[in-house]
Amino acid sequence: MTFAEGLRASGFDVLNDVVLNQVLVSFGDDETTARIIDAVQAEGTCWCGGTVWKDRKAMRISVSSWATTHSDVIRSLQVILTIAANESKTVAPPVV
């Protein structure tokens, strides 16, 4: 729930009902979401994959290890939010 709550509080769309360990989040359009997924994977703190959910590109966050601590989740969430904020700033305006 920590991932979903933090992402929602930051204005991102959590696409699924979080029941156990899976969170699907969109960062706006498909291209922005894909860039954020790539940047999170390259940064290395955590690994989140991409998926398509109801015709929308999404990041899939899955906590699957018993060894994952609350501190790990907070650190990973902070990295995701920082990358998302930086990617949002680098989006070029549309060419008219």
* CATH code (residue 85): 3.90.1150.10
Mean pLDDT score of the chain, rounded to an integer? 91
Q: Is 56 helix (H, G, I), strand (E, B) or coil?
A: strand
Residue 96 lies in a domain: no
State how far the Cα of 96 lies from the Cα of 80, in Å rounded to an integer: 31
Position 18 in a domain = yes
The residue range of the domain holding 78 is 2-89
Whether residue 55 lies inside any domain: the answer is yes
pLDDT of residue 89: 66
Domain assignment present for residue 94? The answer is no
* CB < 8 Å & 24+ apart, contacts of 63-69: 63/3, 63/21, 64/21
In a domain, 16, yes or no: yes
Number of domains in the chain: 1
Instruction: Give a yes or no: residue 95 inside a domain.
Output: no
**Residue 16 DSSP code:** S
Would you say residue 21 lies in a domain? yes
Contact 24, 14 (CB under 8 A): yes
9-23 confidence digits (pLDDT tens): 999 999 999 998 999
Tell me the helices (H) and strands (E) count for the chain, helix number first: 3, 4
* Mean pLDDT in residue range 38-45: 97
Whether 57 is covered by a domain: the verdict is yes
**How confident is the model at residue 68, as a pLDDT?**
93
Q: What is the mean pLDDT of residues 39-44?
A: 97
Q: What would the pLDDT profile of 60-90 be if each residue is shown by its tens digit?
A: 999 999 999 999 999 999 999 999 999 876 5
Over 80: is that where the pLDDT of 91 sits?
Answer: no
pLDDT confidence tier of residue 96, bands split at 50, 70 and 90: very low
